[in-house]
Amino acid sequence: MKIRERAFDQLARVVSRSPWIVLGIASLVTVAAGAASGTLRMETRILDLVPRDGQLLTADVLIDVTCPDDTRFVRFQVSPDDGANWYNLEGTQSPNDYTEDSDASDGWSQIWSTATDALPDGVAYRIRVTAWDEQNPVAHLIGEDQVGGGLVVDNTPPSLEIAIAPRPTDGPLTGEVFQPEITLTGSFFDLPDSARVVGITIEHRNENGDYVSDSPIHIPATEFTFSRVLRMLEGRNYIVVTATDEAGLTSSESAEIHYLVPEEAYPIFGAVIVWGGIHSSVLPDQTVHCMNIHRPSRL
Ligand SMILES: [Ca+2]
Ligand SMILES: [Ca+2]
């Protein structure tokens, strides 16, 4: 097989395995058109690179490159500004630095610790790798590849705020209430925008820790706020609201509500009611009634 046929055969196999290399195809075709110069070196192109564009990256990301056999070292860079500046994988050094792998025995790969590097969270990244040989005796660039545009790094849990109405006696989320229903409202946010919150869960448990009948409630995060009416059980009610983002990171807020059923106030005809203590009244039938009247707590 002639070198040109061999090159296109190899290209076909690469493309069938990695159809996303659209830019690579265009550039290779351009090179092929100039093959008369004898500079066509299809076998020296970087063959594969992961992760793929469009993936959400979190925590430790393995960047794995498949390179031609004559590769002697590979340099890894990331850019948080669409290629304007390139940094090493620690992000701690000046632009145009790189992380280098010169050990082929474990493959051409590096761990990018996105949660601990010095680079910003919640933005789209590009990854660039370059493969080098060590011929003549100076190293020559074998090939370069990039992935990015839609690679978003997310190590930040969503933020979440909730409120309860009517307000409980001891604070915004704790204390007694005297109505059988409360309205739970909340708002949330996530980097780079709240669209990355994928869902809200409301868990409502009784004082034994068991779910109440309509719990848990799953709310799709189609808007940036939510509101639900929850029916209280007499006694203690434990409520936990959790927001989850695309990366699986979560934030929770909890409330502890003690629902007290108000005691009924007895309407007494012809009597003056004084709240608290033991009182007596003479009713029209001349009987004398004594009772201990408690002030309903909600009044
Ligand atoms: Ca290696
Ligand atoms: Ca997030």
pTM over 0.75, yes/no: no
Query: Does the pLDDT at position 16 exceed 60?
Result: no
Q: What is the pLDDT of residue 262?
A: 84
* CATH topology assigned to domain 159-259: Immunoglobulin-like (2.60.40)
List pLDDT tens digits, range 175-188.
999 999 999 999 99
Measured over the CA atoms of residue 172, residue 174, residue 178 and residue 180, the dihedral's sign is positive
* CATH topology assigned to domain 46-153: Immunoglobulin-like (2.60.40)
Q: What is the pLDDT of residue 28?
A: 30
Structure tokens at 117: 């590097």
110 Cα: distance to centroid of ligand 1 (angstroms):
7
pLDDT bin (cut points 50, 70, 90) of residue 45 is confident
Structure tokens at 70: 């004559």
Cis peptide before 192 (omega within 30 of 0): yes
Which ligand has the nearest atom to the CA of 58? 2
159 Cα: distance to centroid of ligand 2 (angstroms):
9
Same fold, 46-153 and 159-259: yes
Query: Does the pLDDT at position 11 exceed 70?
Result: no
Query: Does the pLDDT at position 98 exceed 60?
Result: yes
- The domain limits of the chain are 1-44, 46-153, 159-259, 265-299
106 Cα: distance to centroid of ligand 1 (angstroms):
5
Query: Does the pLDDT at position 292 exceed 90?
Result: no
**Bigger pLDDT: 247 or 37?**
247
Cα gap 35→26, rounded to integer Å: 15
Which ligand has the nearest atom to the CA of 250? 2
Query: Does the pLDDT at position 155 exceed 70?
Result: yes
Q: What is the pLDDT of residue 30?
A: 25
Residues 6+ apart with CB under 8 A from 77: 86, 87, 88, 89, 97, 98, 99, 127, 128, 129
| 259-289 burial: b if 16+ Cβ within 10 Å, else e | bbeeeeeeeeeebeeeeeeebeeeeeeeeee
What mean pLDDT do residues 95-99 have? 92
CB 89 within 8 A of CB 112: yes
